[in-house]
Copies of this chain bind each other. A is one copy, B any other.
Amino acid sequence: MMDTRQANQTAFERMMASQPRLVRVAPAGEVVPGLTGDLILHAGPPIAWDQMSGPLRGAIIGALLLEGRAQVEDEAAELAASGDIRFAPCHHHDAVGPMAGVLSPSMAVYVVEDSAGGQLTFSSLNEGYGKVLRYGAFAPEVIEKLRWMNRSMAPALSAALEQLGEVDLRALIAEALHMGDEGHNRNKAGSLLFLRTLAPVLAQVVADADEGNRILAFLGGNALSVLNPVMAACKAMTLAAHGVEGSSLVTVMARNGTDFGIRVSGLGDRWFVAPCEMPAGKYFEGYSQNDANPDIGDSTITETAGIGAFAMAAAPAIVEFISGTPELTMESTLEMYQITQGEHEHFNIPALGFRGTPTAIDAFKVVGTGILPRINTGIAHREAGVGQIGAGLVRPPMAVFQEAAEALRTQGAQHHG
Chain A residues engaging chain B, CB cutoff 8 angstroms: 178-180, 188-189, 192-193, 195-197, 199-207, 209-210, 212-214, 216-217, 220-221, 316-317, 319-320, 325-326, 350-354
Distance, CA A272 to CA B350, complexed state (A): 38
Query: Which residue of chain B has the shortest Cβ distance to A175 in the bound complex?
Result: B188
Which B residues are CB-close (under 8 A) to A189?
Answer: 179-180, 189, 192
Total copies of this chain within the assembly: 2
Contacts of A212 in B (CB 8 A): 200, 203-204
CA distance A81 to B212 in the complex (A): 50
Closest chain-B Cβ to A82's Cβ sits at a distance in Å of 44
Instruction: Tell which of A213, A221, A319, A325 has the most Cβ of chain B within 10 Å.
Output: A213
User: With contacts A196-B221, A200-B213 known, what are 16 further pairs, Cβ within 8 A?
Assistant: A179-B180, A179-B188, A180-B189, A192-B196, A195-B199, A199-B216, A201-B213, A203-B206, A203-B216, A204-B212, A319-B350, A325-B353, A326-B350, A326-B352, A326-B353, A326-B354
Q: Which residues of B contact A220 (CB under 8 A)?
A: 195-197, 199-200
Task: Check B195–A193 contact: CB distance below 8 A.
Answer: no
Q: Chain B residues near A216: list those with CB within 8 A.
A: 199-200, 203
A-B contact pairs, 12 of them (CB 8 A): A179-B179, A180-B350, A189-B192, A195-B196, A195-B199, A197-B220, A199-B203, A200-B220, A204-B209, A204-B212, A207-B209, A351-B351
A173 to chain B, nearest CB (A): 14
DSSP majority for the A interface? helix
Kindly identify which residue among B196, B203, B317 contacts A350, using a CB–CB cutoff of 8 Å. Answer: B317
- Give the distance to chain B from A108, nearest Cβ to Cβ, in Å: 20
User: Which B residue's beta carbon lies closest to that of A349?
Assistant: B316
Min CB–CB distance A121 → chain B (angstroms): 26
Per the bound structure, the CA–CA distance linking A220 and B353 in Å amounts to: 28
Q: Please give, as numbers and ranges, the residues of chain B lying within 8 Å of A326 by CB-CB distance.
A: 350-354
Contact check, A178 vs B209: say whether CB atoms are below 8 A apart.
no
Set of chain B residues within 8 Å of A178, measured between Cβ atoms: 180, 317
Distance of A320 from chain B, by nearest CB (Å): 8
In the complex formed, the residue of B with least CB distance to A316 is B350
The answer to whether B209 touches A203 (Cβ under 8 A) is yes
Which residues of chain B come closer than 8 Å to A200, judged between CB atoms?
212-214, 216-217, 220
Between A179, A201, A206, the greatest number of chain B beta carbons within 10 A of the residue's beta carbon is seen for A179
A84 to chain B, nearest CB (A): 43
Partner of A203, one of B180, B193, B202: B202
Enumerate chain B residues within 8 angstroms of A319, measured Cβ to Cβ.
Answer: 350
A225 CB → nearest B CB, Å: 10
A180 CB contacts on chain B under 8 angstroms:
178-180, 189, 350
Chain B residues with Cβ under 8 A from A354's Cβ?
326
Shortest beta-carbon distance from A213 to chain B in Å:
4
- In the complex, what's the smallest C-beta–C-beta distance from A405 to chain B, in angstroms? 36
A49 vs chain B, min Cβ distance (A):
41
Please name the residue on chain B nearest to A217 by beta carbon.
Answer: B200
Interchain CA distance A193-B196 in the complex, whole Å? 10
In angstroms, Cα B46 to Cα A18, docked, is 57
